[in-house]
Amino acid sequence: MDLINYVHEQLGTVKSYPEFRAGDSISVSYKIVEGAKERIQTFKGDVIQINGHGATKTFTVRKMSSGVGVERIFPFSNPSIVEIKVLKRGRVRRAKLYYLRELKGKKAKIREKAHFKK
């Protein structure tokens, strides 16, 4: 266990991002390297889970693209993440929102919190 904690401490240089939870709509900007070129791409969607702790902590973002659900898992310690913006705060009662995968249309919407300050 001491070795695992030591590795987590060495990898523990995680940037500070705004606090968000499952159900929030966020926009993740990350760098993509294509050959010699480098560009920034954004991925906007709803957070369906936050998993792990320390250097191995990840979050999963889901969006609908042309009627097809697309999910992407981002590690918090990923150096290619440029910024994370919280667009809306969601009102949910679960920590893992896997049930959204089966829902379609308006049923897949997440209610917005009444008082949200950006």
Tell me whether residue 112 is in a domain.
no
Query: Within a domain: residue 36?
Result: yes
Residue 67 domain flag: yes
Task: Please report the pLDDT score of residue 13 as a whole number.
Answer: 63
How far, CA to CA in Å, does 27 sit from each of 4, 46, 68, 70?
32, 9, 18, 14
pTM of the complete model: 0.80
Q: Residue 65 belongs to what domain range?
A: 2-99
Establish if 107 belongs to a structural domain. Answer: no
Total domains in the fold of the chain: 1
pLDDT of residue 45: 93
CATH of the domain at 40: 2.30.30.790
Per-residue model confidence as pLDDT tens for the chain (118 residues) = 678 777 777 766 667 888 899 989 999 999 999 989 999 999 999 999 999 887 788 999 999 888 888 999 999 888 889 999 999 998 889 899 988 888 888 777 788 777 766 6
In a domain, 118, yes or no: no
20 assigned to some structural domain: yes
- Domain-located, residue 109: no
